[in-house]
């Protein structure tokens, strides 16, 4: 038996049914016939198999949930918004009232989260259930304490793999997109953060979860700093309402990366040598008070580089599969070492003050336009240190590099138009 939470009347349904001679998974919405497989007992869905078998011989029990509400929800303190943040906030409330989807396209460091506070409160005070969904667990863990600090009387439920809040009832659910599998026609408003990020991006299954978890009429507010091609297309064709915030909350421009051409970078690093231009740049930084992000394209390059640089600078390498990664990132935040070498795990979400940033091997395929824009977005976020040196070390110019610089310049120009 699989369990889903719903606002509808309690009922049980067969998980995989046959509709017009085609299989349909009622749990993840899958209709792709090639991902249905036979076993001894019947037919099951491969699309959502990681969550346990959804099949023709299993039922989904839809548990009706009754909500508890408080009289009035408000913020614990006043949150100051910039002019454009205020307009964006108003647009969100308007979209919610009209039950229309909306995309907020805000540059890295624009203060996206505060923009949705008002619409969250509006919905809660209408006795609605709100979901803030994000592709990444790290974001859930970062946002929940922040929401608890800022919202008064709101029951916040945090959901991710192994979360202790699973099955709990609240008004505001902060969740990874994966966890939405357990909800059926449940939410009155979904705010979807980082729509363009892995694993949400290009993931039909997760898109299906959103559709199923929300009530039919419920609007979705999408947040992104780097829209995908599909989203841009929808913006251009006016298929989706959107609002752009081209500048950061502190109004300083986004640093424009410098490109420094290197030669046979990966080959040299593999042979335990650091290309001279990169080494020079790092040595200069050593005597500054800046913290340095060094992005590398893969784990082996990072490990190699750490070894090469350790005798010269105070550095550590961190990547996604490391158990100690939280501790290392915290140590970096607390200034226990100056240089952090990292794969793309730190490309989003991590905010450290007073940083310079470089990408090594920027010609690698993983550095597309959006990845570069996100990485540059790590720089200059703090009002006290709004400027940063950002360098892309690359063997040659790629389309990603060209487009990323073009995009940042475009947003910076838009910023001036809004003065």
Work out how close the CB of 43 gets to Zn ion at its nearest, in angstroms, rounded to a whole number.
11
Q: How far is the CB of 179 from Zn ion (least distance, A)?
A: 15
d(C-alpha 200, C-alpha 207), whole Å: 7
Q: Give whichever of 47 and 177 is closer to Zn ion, judged by the CB atom.
A: 47
Residue 182 sits in the site that holds Zn ion (CB under 5 A): no
Q: Shortest gap between Cβ of 30 and Zn ion (angstroms)?
A: 4
Residues in the chain: 419
State the nearest-atom distance from the C-beta of 29 to Zn ion, in Å. 7
- 28 binding Zn ion? (CB under 5 A): yes
Supply the Cα-derived Rg of the chain in whole angstroms.
Answer: 23
Nearer to Zn ion, 60 or 328 (CB): 60
* CB-nearer residue toward Zn ion: 177 or 316: 177
Give the span between the Cα atoms of 93 and 130, in whole angstroms: 13
Total chain residues near Zn ion (CB under 5 A): 8
Give me the least distance between CB of 209 and Zn ion, in Å please.
Answer: 10
Residue 26, interface with Zn ion (CB under 5 A)? no
Only segment of 28-36, 131-139, 154-162, 280-288 that touches Zn ion (CB under 5 A) = 28-36
Question: Least distance to Zn ion from the beta carbon of 41, Å?
Answer: 16
When the beta carbons of 44 and 96 are compared against Zn ion, the nearer one is: 44
Query: Is 25 a binder of Zn ion (CB under 5 A)?
Result: yes
Nearest distance in Å: CB 27, Zn ion: 5
Examine residue 30 and tell whether it contacts Zn ion (CB under 5 A): yes
CB neighbour burial string for 87-112, b if at least 16 within 10 angstroms, e if fewer:
ebbebbbebbeeeebbbbbbbbbbbb
Match 């240089």 to its residue by tokens: 339
Q: Which stretch binds Zn ion (CB under 5 A): 27-35, 160-168, 240-248, 253-261?
A: 27-35
Burial 338-350 (b: 16+ CB within 10 A, else e): bbbbbbbbbbbbb
Strands (E), 87-225: 102-106, 130-134, 151-152, 156-159, 172-176, 183-184, 189-192, 220-224
- Quick one: 361 exposed, middle or buried, by C-beta within 10 A (0-12, 13-18, 19+)? buried
In the bound complex, what is the minimum distance in angstroms from residue 56's beta carbon to Zn ion? 12
The yes or no reply on residue 116 touching Zn ion (CB under 5 A) is no
Rounded to the nearest whole angstrom, what is the least distance from the CB of residue 131 to Zn ion in the complex? Answer: 20
388 in contact with Zn ion (CB under 5 A) = no
Instruction: Determine which helix (DSSP H) or strand (DSSP E) holds 234, and give its type and residue range.
Output: helix 229-236
Q: What is the smallest separation between the CB atom of 47 and Zn ion, expressed in angstroms?
A: 4
Q: Return d(Cα 157, Cα 180) in angstroms, integer.
A: 13
Of residues 12 and 283, the one with the C-beta less far from Zn ion: 12
**Shortest CA distance to 304 belongs to which of 259, 329, 267?**
267
Nearer to Zn ion, 23 or 243 (CB): 23
| Residue 320: burial class (beta carbons within 10 Å; 0-12, 13-18, 19+) | exposed
Beta carbon nearer to Zn ion, 36 or 160: 36
- Stretch near Zn ion under the rule CB under 5 A, chosen from 29-37, 177-185, 231-239, 351-359: 29-37
What torsion do the CA atoms of 401, 243, 132, 126 make, to the nearest 10 degrees? 180
Nearest-approach distance from CB 35 to Zn ion, in angstroms: 8
Of residues 257-286, those binding Zn ion (CB under 5 A): none
The residue among 373, 327, 377 whose CA lies nearest residue 350 is: 377
How many CA atoms does the CB half-sphere of 151 hold within 13 Å?
A: 28
> What span, in angstroms and rounded, lies between the C-alpha atoms of 246 and 105?
8
Which of residues 27 and 62 has its CB atom nearest to Zn ion in the complex? 27
Q: Which residue lies nearer to Zn ion by CB, 5 or 337?
A: 5
Which of 27, 212 has the CB closer to Zn ion? 27
**Which helix (H) or strand (E) covers residue 294, if one does?**
strand 291-295
Site for Zn ion in 37-66 (CB under 5 A): 45, 47-48, 54
Q: For Zn ion, which is the closer residue by CB, 47 or 89? A: 47
Using left for φ > 0, alpha for ψ between -120 and 50, and beta otherwise, residue 398 falls in beta
Residues lying near Zn ion in the complex (CB under 5 A) are found at 25, 27-28, 30, 45, 47-48, 54
């Amino acid at each position: 038996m699989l369990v889903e939470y719903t606002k509808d009347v309690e009922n049980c349904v067969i998980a995989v049914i046959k509709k017009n001679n085609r299989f349909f998974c009622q749990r993840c919405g899958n209709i792709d016939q090639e991902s249905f497989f036979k076993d001894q007992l019947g037919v099951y869905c491969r699309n959502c198999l990681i969550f346990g078998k959804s099949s023709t011989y299993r039922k989904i029990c839809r548990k009706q949930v009754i909500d508890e509400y408080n009289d009035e929800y408000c913020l614990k303190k006043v949150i100051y918004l910039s002019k454009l943040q205020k307009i964006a906030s108003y647009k969100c409330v308007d979209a919610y009232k009209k039950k229309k989807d909306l995309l907020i396209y805000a540059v890295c460091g624009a203060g996206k989260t505060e923009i949705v506070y008002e619409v969250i409160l509006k919905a809660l005070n209408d006795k609605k259930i709100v979901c803030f969904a994000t592709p990444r667990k790290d974001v859930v863990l970062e946002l929940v304490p922040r929401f608890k600090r800022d919202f008064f009387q709101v029951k916040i439920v945090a959901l991710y793999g192994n979360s202790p809040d699973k099955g709990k009832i609240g008004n505001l659910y902060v969740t990874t997109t994966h966890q939405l599998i357990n909800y059926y026609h449940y939410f009155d408003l979904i705010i979807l953060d980082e729509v363009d990020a892995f694993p949400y991006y290009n993931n039909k299954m997760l898109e299906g979860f959103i559709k199923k978890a929300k009530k039919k009429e419920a609007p979705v507010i999408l947040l992104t700093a780097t829209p995908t091609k599909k989203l841009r297309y929808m913006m251009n064709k006016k298929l989706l309402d959107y609002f752009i915030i081209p500048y950061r909350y502190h109004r300083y421009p986004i640093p424009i990366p410098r490109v420094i051409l290197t030669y046979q970078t990966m080959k040299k690093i593999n042979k335990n040598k650091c290309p001279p231009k990169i080494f020079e740049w790092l040595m200069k930084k050593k005597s500054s008070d800046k913290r340095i992000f060094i992005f590398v394209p893969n784990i082996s390059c990072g490990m190699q580089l750490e070894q090469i640089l350790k005798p010269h600078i105070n550095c550590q390498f961190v990547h996604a599969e490391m158990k100690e990664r939280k501790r290392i990132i915290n140590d970096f935040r607390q200034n226990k070492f100056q240089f952090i070498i990292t794969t793309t795990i730190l490309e989003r979400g991590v905010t450290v003050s007073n940083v310079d940033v470089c990408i090594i091997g920027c010609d690698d395929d993983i550095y597309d336009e959006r990845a570069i824009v996100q990485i540059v977005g790590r720089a200059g976020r703090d009002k006290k240190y709004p400027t940063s040196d950002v360098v892309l070390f690359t063997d040659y110019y790629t389309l990603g590099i060209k487009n990323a610089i073009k995009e940042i310049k475009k947003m910076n120009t838009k910023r001036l138009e809004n003065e």
